[in-house]
Structure 1
């Protein structure tokens, strides 16, 4: 018999873990937006520094930092743009990855990558570095704003320029206008690129708006959303054979596998979601939401004959979020707010034999219809008609990844509403109207629910079936990032600043 105890046994085990780093976006590798951290502040005050360890600028007024911070090995990694240049050698609009000291917020190194210029829809101006990194050991994995997968040295070039990639200077000066007539000392050390893989040149993808991928690591392999999508007309797929999911060897960057499902012609807008990992019948399974609104379950890559690589991943399971939606000529539904295909921005969250996923009409171009679902991950083949346990309606559109804790699901929508849902029944428990649209996800930590809005409001609620607002801070800049808790600190990123907040701290402002 299905009970709350069965459904959340695995989650209880996760929540019992001690305080630690957060080396990837979401819990490893369920992607649940929860944290075992305790003793976190319910609110903080940017004016007088209450509960603020430090805060640092991410850019000038109007800067677009959409990146969720990642915390590992005494460092914080966060993306931004180059509206606040940190190095005279690196001028102009760029995607920037900052490596900061976890203790002080001081910059240790940066990766400042020039924008693609052949079409603004490949790499939208001033958007910056949107993809969160994934850290394992002394390696930092990232899909940069040009759609290039980068393996970086955690220490930057403090230990020298490690190979095999040695052409950082050339890569970071791709535009001739950035070459200076005389040498300029480095104000901020450059990143150390160990290897790179260009998804456009080598895998044939067509990036749209910019890369937005959180890399999943399983064994020796990286599972990567390619961010392939439509061209500048928003109706045409220029590279219909482009893969949506690729697998690279984390040691070398060698391309070893791909989805092989021909998803691209069915993509409405872009491929937004990153993969998660679950276990089905004792075996690992990769869950990946394609740009066609279908969640695919793949068996992990198994090494074979290198001469046949990239091989095709085995796909024993799939769930169509919108089986009645159109599957052909999807571009004709552009700007149709009444009907059309669905897609999924957030990640599928895997807990036990349950998957929680939110999706619906495209936020910018699609129908006004969205929901969050609870799905069984068991079975074989197309389970769209059989595995839905419940579906809960959201307002118009959603970008959020669900957060599941204590038998509750938290998910936000474009109607400024945070929803609290019973995780077993799918019935609404409570809602709250926030001060703006939500592009981020809720974070559950320390008995609290944290969420930020595009109007710069940062909200805190009690993790409870009774709605209790614990705090609200007006931060004055849009929030796209999900809050992150690690090592006793809550990190909150806006478009212009990163705040490190904690219960006991000496206020500092940089």
Structure 2
């Protein structure tokens, strides 16, 4: 069996020296087992001692780097000595898997070598159901030896951290059929294949209509998994593929059984797709699930309690806040391509912080108006709080996919014009805006009193997380950056479309 993992090509002496220096030093940091801070989704890390400079040409500060093909849009997740990153199959690592595939790589955090990979064929037919060349975009969530993620075929899967090295555990045992196209014969499953423990097909189970490529970061709370569904428009962009499908659901983490779904009528109001993953917080002794709707409305639902009902239930809505009440609400798809007037949507995750919800809403980055807002919402209220719940609003002159990073009493968000905005978390007062690169689809990471952020033209910047703008470092990667940087165990991870970098202070 041919396995091919390509390390970055530095002069031989430098890569050996890096291995001696880095792998021999114990790490005292923490894992990053989910996207954003646990439950709150605040895009920050408690890591310290992170690099504030490195050199891509000489290899200074580069612990290791591996090729990803060319379709990596998600962010790295780090847990249990492993690094997880989605990509495509343009540079196959296993001779049994050829052609366009969505791939999730599990790499050894010490050197980036391959441990196992999940390989998923395309849906086929309509490209808009599973966009060609795009890797698995959904960031995994890791708990112990279980990994929860969503494939390019809109399947929620529970994976074994160890892959097939400890056997095919089941109850799902059909990996050999799952990893090849339907018109190809099943193959034998052997390491380095992934071990799927259970599988929940969003299309067949809830009638989800996929669009482009799903992006979900599953929220794990106790025995429950919460996630957005990726339900979206058809290939005309003029109607929802299935307006009856829910936009947010809950599953049993042990079995994948459907537990609950939203029943707020979001489907017909969806302008493009359900992009935003949920967050969670405790408000006055009450645990709430916060969901950024594809209709531009932020919802707060009661979380589920055990024992779970035997029947699928509807989420109990505590409050709803329309981030753009003056936007068009009827015949919304007549506004597709209108950059001045359109419905709003929420693409990034809501962040819960000190009884407030911080969320970015506005025009779709492909088809909507060139405007968005950072909203600060009072999470202690009930009912329709559109008129009463806004504590402050900050105007962003372009679209934004950002999940806020709240650090040192400041909120940092990015926009599609390639800028980072710094705003006071308490009052919404604007402090500064910095142009990083051509366009930013990712979020900024706040860690070690710094802000780390990359742009779609490869520009990368480290800024001080202060009221006064200070650019500490800037460089350019050789490819586009779509994922948010990740900090774990003293290492900064930056993924581009084609390569993953592990960077550490020498």
Q: Answer whether TM exceeds 0.5 for this pair.
A: yes
1:120: which partner in 2? 127
Offset from partner CA, 1:337-371 (integer Å, 9 cap, x none): 12121001100000121111111011100112111
2:15: which partner in 1? none
Offset from partner CA, 1:368-405 (integer Å, 9 cap, x none): 21111111111110111111111111122001111111
8 Å CA contact retained: 1:88, 1:184: no
Residue range with higher mean Cα deviation, 232-241 or 482-491: 232-241
Structure 1 position 103 matched with structure 2 position 113: no
Deviation at 1:302, TM superposition (A): 3.2
1:375: which partner in 2? 377
1:205: which partner in 2? 208
Map 1:48-59 onto structure 2 (within 5 A). 48-59=58-69
1:273: which partner in 2? 276
1:89: which partner in 2? 96
Offset from partner CA, 1:71-111 (integer Å, 9 cap, x none): 00000110000111111211111100000001111000000
8 Å CA contact retained: 1:358, 1:398: yes
Offset from partner CA, 1:310-358 (integer Å, 9 cap, x none): 1111111111111121222211111111212100110000012111111
Matched position secondary structure for 1:316: strand
1:485: which partner in 2? 487
1:362: which partner in 2? 364
Structure 1 position 169 matched with structure 2 position 173: no
Following TM superposition, the consecutive aligned residue runs of length 4 or more in structure 1 with deviations greater than 3 angstroms are: 183-186, 302-307
The 1:305/1:285 distance shift into structure 2, 3 A limit, reads closer
Q: Distance in 2 between matches of 1:52 and 1:238?
A: 45
Q: Return the TM-score normalized by structure 2.
A: 0.92
Q: Distance in 1 between matches of 2:189 and 2:232?
A: 40
Stretches of structure 2 that go unaligned for 5 or more consecutive residues are: 1-27
Stretches of structure 1 that go unaligned for 5 or more consecutive residues are: 1-17, 505-510
Pairing partner for 1:420 from 419, 422, 446: 422
Structure 1 position 234 matched with structure 2 position 210: no
Q: Distance in 1 between matches of 2:470 and 2:350?
A: 27
2:250: which partner in 1? 247
Offset from partner CA, 1:31-53 (integer Å, 9 cap, x none): 11111111111121121111111
Higher relative contact order (CA 8 A, sep 6+): 1
Offset from partner CA, 1:386-425 (integer Å, 9 cap, x none): 1111111112200111111111111111122111111112
Q: Distance in 2 between matches of 1:304 and 1:435?
A: 49
Number of positions where the alignment pairs a residue of Structure 1 with one of Structure 2:
479
8 Å CA contact retained: 1:395, 1:414: no
Q: Distance in 2 between matches of 1:481 and 1:414?
A: 14
Q: Distance in 1 between matches of 2:458 and 2:113?
A: 24
1:8: which partner in 2? none
Q: Distance in 1 between matches of 2:125 and 2:289?
A: 34
1:5: which partner in 2? none
2:295: which partner in 1? 292
RMSD across aligned positions (CA): 1.5
Matched position secondary structure for 1:176: coil
Q: Return the TM-score normalized by structure 1.
A: 0.92
Q: Distance in 2 between matches of 1:84 and 1:35?
A: 32
Q: Distance in 2 between matches of 1:22 and 1:176?
A: 38
2:502: which partner in 1? 500
Structure 1 position 21 matched with structure 2 position 31: yes
Q: Distance in 2 between matches of 1:478 and 1:175?
A: 33
Deviation at 1:203, TM superposition (A): 0.7
Deviation at 1:185, TM superposition (A): 9.6
Matched position secondary structure for 1:121: helix
8 Å CA contact retained: 2:67, 2:499: yes
Q: Distance in 1 between matches of 2:67 and 2:267?
A: 38
8 Å CA contact retained: 2:198, 2:255: yes
1:282: which partner in 2? 285
Matched position secondary structure for 2:129: coil
8 Å CA contact retained: 2:259, 2:308: no
Structure 1 position 40 matched with structure 2 position 50: yes
8 Å CA contact retained: 1:34, 1:443: yes
Matched position secondary structure for 1:464: coil
Offset from partner CA, 1:163-184 (integer Å, 9 cap, x none): 100000001113325x49xx79
Q: Distance in 1 between matches of 2:404 and 2:307?
A: 36
Pairing partner for 2:409 from 407, 410, 413: 407
Matched position secondary structure for 1:331: helix
Offset from partner CA, 1:112-155 (integer Å, 9 cap, x none): 10011121111111011000000011100001100000000001
Q: Distance in 2 between matches of 1:305 and 1:488?
A: 39
8 Å CA contact retained: 2:300, 2:317: yes
1:454: which partner in 2? 456
8 Å CA contact retained: 1:89, 1:184: no
Q: Distance in 2 between matches of 1:194 and 1:325?
A: 44
